[in-house]
């Protein structure tokens, strides 16, 4: 079984360097030579090494506090309708003041520690107590149940889903009972301290991940909302509290996207402050910073929970995120390609950090740790409304762990602090905006087996995901980490029982996002911890076993996974940093933006209209994304006109001319651009009195039309305008 503390993570030496050795006789009768004081260089080296080792912790904690502050300011600004630029300015000032206070407080504490008397070293956590034979038999049986559950769940439909569910639930309950026994039998263990070399390795990896984020692009349909909202904020310096895609902040907002998330507003305000386009600020400034934070958050979980070899476990977890993508629900899909979307940062950084903060709180009971839990819950609220669904399940699993050992007060305090802000924000927004539209919350649903296959995957990778769920709790560091991991496994196993997710969907009305419940597991970290398996009292054999397991895991990722840069992951690798959009579409939309246009809507092929709001919030289009029409009345002209015109511009359906003309008039469409091959659209427009006034040649041949006024002066002006656009009419 794994040791309590990794040999490489020895506790910090707390003895004062000038401490005198004890003597048997009176000191005046037995003089001793005055010990030489430790040199200032040695003191500096020790302090520097400690500071470097603490960098991942300090960086992530500072980022959590900073973004929690921005989110709180953003929500408070609703009361006074403050502009995003003003919110960002106040936030910068507050961050500067807090940074100065933090530095001053750190210096003061360092001086006090140096002047304080030497304190006795803390009691050792103690070695592993002797295990009774029943304990080893129970642990072996639990491990076999977990392996059986992982294999039967990963094979994908060859057995009834009740088989892996039953085996997994039994394994999770067994692991929780064993963790409870260990927790009650041992004293509190000391929090592990990262060495400077470990921290440097993690920082180098995080910097490499940040650089790679600039060269990989995954074009997702939701970018029109997330990045489009940032573009609106940057260009107009207002927060769109209502619909900003189909209308000019007039129609009701999507019920599934209340304006409580602050990440898009932060990106827009950042771009405005730096004088950059919001897309530049999002993809070239914010995304690399988020990548660093996500990697550091993963390291903190692995380092906190891994009983040994945390660097190896961390490396395996990072490899998993890069090589196991492909599926639209794989966790690698929500990492680098989509960190700028709040839900991507939520699952990649908030979930691992929440487990770390809860572990620290339950072990230390320090108020500062509890405050970090609260601050992280504010961050989760600012990232995604999904936090109001996933966070209660995560915190409920942690509370179950503490209830198992009688820590009622700690469980209630953590639950209240972690859920007060996100749940309160969602409830308040629902009271103001109304409930979630049924059609918006029930667009899709996956049962337990489908949810497992979407996130934990199938085949060899599905087996590995199952091992992380049902076997890894036996491997993590003892005491609180093992108790929390086992409780998370119990919670997830209950949710995987057939019928539970269905009941939860009926009770909450948010079935469309319940497939995300496996996010509570922090799966990449648990997969990395699989390589920390060890053999009792066989140090070198344990290292060999861990290395073999790590090699097998990496081989499986490479052999059976779809890497992030593969076309099947819908990710393109560019030779230089580019916007996360197909470049030809981007060039066409920029060309259209430069054309002389009358006020009104732009009609173009759907792919171009989905790109236009990212280029400019002033480039208003008929159909930003067809999926967002689901919450509107499908029988209204608002929806029918948009669907009819989008099909016309795409060339899939040419409606009768009277219907086409009526739709164009109701939506005030003043500019129409179609691809050159759409000859039917060209003929229909000319019959309606539209005239071609601009043409773009290959690649991406496009021609644009508008209806000219009947006055002769305007007709004469067409020749000069066409010449200026380089067209031949």
pLDDT tens across 63-94, in order?
999 999 999 999 999 888 899 999 999 999 99
Model confidence at 485: pLDDT above 80: yes
Shared-domain flag, residues 563 and 587: no
81 and 183 both lie in a single domain: yes
Q: What confidence score (pLDDT) does residue 182 get?
A: 86
The Cα 396–Cα 478 span in angstroms is 20
The answer as to whether 36 is a domain residue is no
If asked whether residues 307 and 260 sit together in one domain, one would say: yes
Q: Which of 518, 480, 298, 499 is nearest to 393 (CA)?
A: 518
DSSP β-bridge partners for residue 544: none
Which of 207-211, 305-309, 441-445 shows the lowest per-residue confidence on average (mean pLDDT)?
A: 441-445
Q: What is the mean pLDDT of residues 536-551?
A: 80
Residues 554 and 693 in one domain: no
Angle between helical axes of 387-404 and 351-364 (0-180°, round to 10): 30
Phi-psi group of 326: left, alpha or beta (phi > 0 → left; psi -120 to 50 → alpha; rest → beta): left
Q: Could you give the CA distance from residue 517 to residue 521 in angstroms, rounded to a whole number?
A: 9
Give residue 708's pLDDT. 66
- Decide if 514 is inside a domain: yes
The model's confidence at residue 709, banded by pLDDT at 50, 70 and 90, is low
Where would I find the H helices in 324-443? 342-345, 351-364, 367-383, 387-404, 408-433, 438-441
- Taking phi over 0 as left and psi of -120 to 50 as alpha, with beta for the rest, 309 belongs to left
Residue with tokens 């359906």: 653
- 543 and 587 together in one domain: no
Query: What three-state secondary structure class fits 692?
Result: strand
Q: Which residue's structure tokens are 């500071």?
A: 51
> Is pTM, for the whole model, over 0.85?
yes
Q: How far apart are CA 233 and CA 83, in angstroms?
A: 9
Between CA 598 and CA 609, with CA 603 as vertex, the angle to 5 degrees is: 115
- pLDDT 10s digits, 292-333: 999 999 999 999 999 989 999 999 999 999 999 987 788 888
Does pLDDT of 567 surpass 90?
Answer: no
Is residue 530 within 8 Å of residue 475, measured between CB atoms? yes
Q: Which two tokens stand for residue 113?
A: 């520690």
Mean predicted confidence (pLDDT) in 286-291 = 96
Identify the residue with better confidence: 15 or 204. 204
- With a cut of 90, say whether residue 659 has pLDDT above it: yes
Per the domain annotation, does 440 fall within a domain? yes
Q: Give the strand pairing for 669-675 and 601-603.
A: parallel
Instruction: Report the chain's mean pLDDT, rounded to a whole number.
Output: 85
Number of H helices, E strands in the chain: 29, 6
Cβ proximity of 64 and 372 under 8 Å = yes
**Domain that residue 696 falls in:** 583-725
Q: Which residues pair with 625 in a beta bridge?
A: none
Q: Rounded to whole angstroms, how far apart are CA atoms 442 and 234?
A: 33
> What angle in degrees, to the nearest 10, is found between the helix axes of 162-185 and 387-404?
50
Maximum alpha-carbon separation in the chain: 119
pLDDT at res. 507:
82
Among candidates 542, 580, 66, 650, which has minimal Cα distance to 284?
580
CA distance 31 to 110: 33
Span of 412-426, 454-468, 499-513 with lowest mean pLDDT: 499-513
Predicted pLDDT at 121: 45
Higher pLDDT: 156 or 661? It is: 661
**Torsion, Cα of 568, 574, 579, 581 (10° steps):** -30
Residue 213 lies in a domain: yes
Residues 6+ apart with CB under 8 A from 499: none
Spacing of C-alpha 402 from chain mean position: 26
**Are 302 and 380 members of one domain?**
yes
Do 724 and 717 touch, CB atoms closer than 8 A? no
pLDDT at 431: 75
| Nearest CA-CA partner of 473 in 415, 516, 532 | 532
Higher-confidence position of 508 and 196: 196
Q: Is residue 508 part of a domain?
A: yes
Other residues' Cβ atoms within 10 Å of the Cβ of residue 423: 17
Query: Cα–Cα distance between 359 and 644 in angstroms, integer?
Result: 55
Is a pLDDT exceeding 90 seen at residue 107? no
CB 488 within 8 A of CB 520: yes
For residue 667, being part of any structural domain is answered with yes
Mean pLDDT along residues 492-504? 93
Claim to verify: residue 555 and residue 601 sit in the same structural domain: no
H/E segment holding residue 217: strand 216-218
pLDDT band for 39, please (50, 70, 90 cuts).
low
Task: Report percent pLDDT > 90 for the chain.
Answer: 58
pLDDT over 80 at 122, yes or no: no
Asked whether the predicted pLDDT for residue 591 surpasses 80, the reply is: yes
Cα separation, 223 vs 314, in Å, equals 30
CB atoms within 10 A of CB 721: 14
Could you tell me which of 519, 514, 490 has the C-alpha nearest to residue 504? Answer: 514
- Would you state the structure tokens that stand for residue 172, as one six-digit string? 């999770």
What gap in Å lies between CA 3 and CA 128, rounded to an integer? 7
Q: Which one of 519, 538, 567 terminates a domain?
A: 567
Q: Are residues 501 and 641 in the same domain?
A: no
Give the Å distances, CA to CA, from 418 to 172, 371, 402, 428, 522.
Answer: 24, 9, 15, 17, 17
Question: What number of residues does the chain have?
Answer: 729
What per-residue confidence (pLDDT) applies to 434?
A: 63
Least Cα distance to 192 among 313, 374, 42, 356 occurs for 356
Residue 115 has pLDDT above 60, yes or no: no
Tell me which of 508, 540, 567 is where a domain ends.
567
Cis peptide before 699 (omega within 30 of 0): yes
Asked whether residue 131 is assigned to any structural domain, the reply reads no
Rounded Cα–Cα distance for residues 331 and 321 (Å): 7
Which has the minimum average pLDDT: 154-168, 242-256, 380-394, 434-448? Answer: 434-448
Burial 101-115 (b: 16+ CB within 10 A, else e): eeeeeeeeeeeeeee
* Average pLDDT of span 186-215: 88
Joined together, the tokens standing for residue 503 give 């009941």
Q: Which residue has tokens 């560019």? A: 574
Residues 206/208/211/216 CA torsion (nearest 10 deg): -100
Q: Name the more confident of 511 and 683.
A: 683
Instruction: For the chain, report the end-to-end CA distance as a whole number of angstroms.
Output: 80
Asked whether the predicted pLDDT for residue 506 surpasses 60, the reply is yes
Place of tokens 């302090």: 47
Indicate if 546 and 588 belong to the same structural domain: no
Q: How many domains does the chain have?
A: 2
Output DSSP code: residue 336. G
CA distances from 264 to 218, 233, 710 (A): 18, 8, 44
Question: Based on the domain organization, do 554 and 604 belong to the same domain?
Answer: no
Instruction: Give me the pLDDT at residue 549, please.
Output: 94
Give the residue among 284, 299, 294, 276 at the shortest CA–CA distance from 213: 284
548 with 589, same domain: the answer is no
Does one domain contain both 504 and 555? yes
Tokens of 73: 């300011």
In a domain, 524, yes or no: yes
pLDDT for 37 equals 53
The CA-based angle 293-299-303, given to 5 degrees, is: 150
């Amino acid at each position: 079984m794994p040791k309590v503390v990794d040999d490489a993570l020895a506790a910090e030496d707390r003895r004062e360097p000038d401490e005198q050795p004890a003597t048997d006789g009176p000191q005046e009768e037995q003089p001793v030579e005055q010990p030489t004081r430790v040199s200032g260089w040695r003191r500096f080296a020790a302090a520097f090494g400690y500071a470097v080792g603490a960098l991942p912790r300090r960086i992530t904690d500072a980022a959590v506090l900073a973004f929690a502050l921005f989110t709180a300011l953003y929500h408070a600004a609703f009361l006074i309708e403050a502009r995003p630029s003003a919110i960002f300015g106040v936030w910068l000032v507050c961050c500067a003041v807090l940074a100065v206070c933090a530095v001053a407080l750190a210096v003061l504490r360092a001086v006090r520690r140096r002047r304080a008397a030497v304190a006795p070293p803390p009691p050792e956590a103690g070695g592993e107590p002797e295990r009774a034979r029943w304990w080893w038999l129970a642990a072996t049986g639990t491990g076999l149940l977990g392996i059986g559950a992982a294999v039967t769940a990963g094979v994908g439909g060859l057995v009834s889903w009740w088989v892996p569910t039953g085996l997994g639930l039994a394994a999770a309950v067994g692991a929780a009972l064993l963790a409870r026994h260990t927790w009650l039998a041992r004293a509190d263990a000391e929090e592990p301290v990262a060495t400077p070399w470990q921290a440097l390795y993690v920082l180098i990896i995080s910097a490499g991940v940040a650089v790679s984020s600039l060269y990989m692009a995954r074009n997702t349909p939701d970018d029109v909302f997330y990045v489009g909202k940032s573009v609106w904020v940057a260009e107009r310096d207002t927060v769109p509290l209502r619909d900003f895609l189909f209308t000019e902040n007039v129609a009701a907002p999507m019920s599934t996207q209340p304006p409580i998330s602050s990440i898009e507003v932060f990106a827009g305000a950042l771009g405005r402050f730096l004088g950059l386009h919001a897309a530049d600020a999002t993809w070239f400034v914010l995304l690399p910073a988020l990548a660093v934070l996500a990697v550091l958050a993963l390291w903190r979980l692995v380092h906190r929970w891994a009983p040994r070899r945390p660097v190896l476990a961390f490396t395996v977890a990072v490899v998993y995120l890069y090589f196991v993508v492909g599926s639209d629900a794989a966790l690698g899909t929500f990492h680098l390609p989509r960190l700028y979307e709040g839900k991507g940062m939520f699952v990649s950084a908030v979930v691992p950090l929440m487990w770390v903060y809860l572990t620290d709180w339950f072990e230390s009971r320090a108020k500062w740790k509890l405050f970090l839990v609260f601050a992280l819950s504010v961050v989760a609220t600012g990232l995604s409304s999904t936090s109001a669904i996933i966070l209660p399940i995560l915190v409920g699993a942690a509370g179950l762990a503490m209830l198992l050992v009688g820590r009622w007060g700690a469980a209630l305090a953590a639950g209240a602090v972690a859920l007060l802000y996100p749940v309160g924000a969602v409830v308040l927004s629902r009271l103001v905006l109304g409930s979630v539209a049924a059609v918006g919350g029930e667009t899709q649903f996956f049962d337990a087996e489908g949810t497992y296959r979407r996130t934990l995957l199938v085949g060899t990778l599905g087996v590995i995901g199952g091992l992380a769920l049902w076997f890894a709790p036996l491997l993590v560091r003892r005491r609180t980490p093992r108790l929390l991991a086992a409780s998370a496994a119990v919670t997830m196993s209950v949710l995987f029982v057939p019928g539970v997710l269905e009941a939860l969907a009926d009770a909450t009305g948010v079935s469309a996002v319940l497939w995300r419940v496996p996010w509570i597991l922090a799966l990449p970290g648990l997969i990395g911890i699989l390589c920390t398996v060890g053999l009792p009292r066989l140090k070198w054999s344990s290292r060999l076993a861990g290395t073999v397991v790590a090699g097998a895991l990496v081989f499986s990722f490479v052999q059976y996974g779809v890497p992030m840069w593969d076309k099947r992951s819908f990710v393109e690798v560019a030779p230089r940093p580019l916007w996360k959009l197909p470049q030809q579409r981007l060039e066409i939309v920029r060309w259209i933006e430069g054309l002389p246009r009358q006020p009104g809507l732009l009609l173009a092929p759907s792919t171009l209209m989905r790109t236009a709001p990212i280029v400019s919030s002033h480039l208003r289009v008929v159909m930003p994304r067809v999926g967002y029409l689901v919450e509107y009345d499908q029988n209204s002209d608002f929806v029918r006109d948009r669907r009819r015109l989008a099909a016309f511009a795409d060339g899939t359906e040419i409606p009768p001319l009277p219907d086409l003309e009526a739709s164009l008039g109701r939506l005030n469409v003043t500019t129409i651009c179609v691809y050159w091959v759409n000859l039917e659209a060209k003929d229909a427009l000319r019959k309606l009195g539209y005239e071609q006034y601009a043409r773009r040649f290959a690649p991406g041949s496009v021609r644009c039309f508008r209806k000219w006024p009947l006055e002769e002066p305007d007709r004469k002006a067409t020749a000069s305008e066409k010449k200026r656009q380089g067209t031949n009419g």
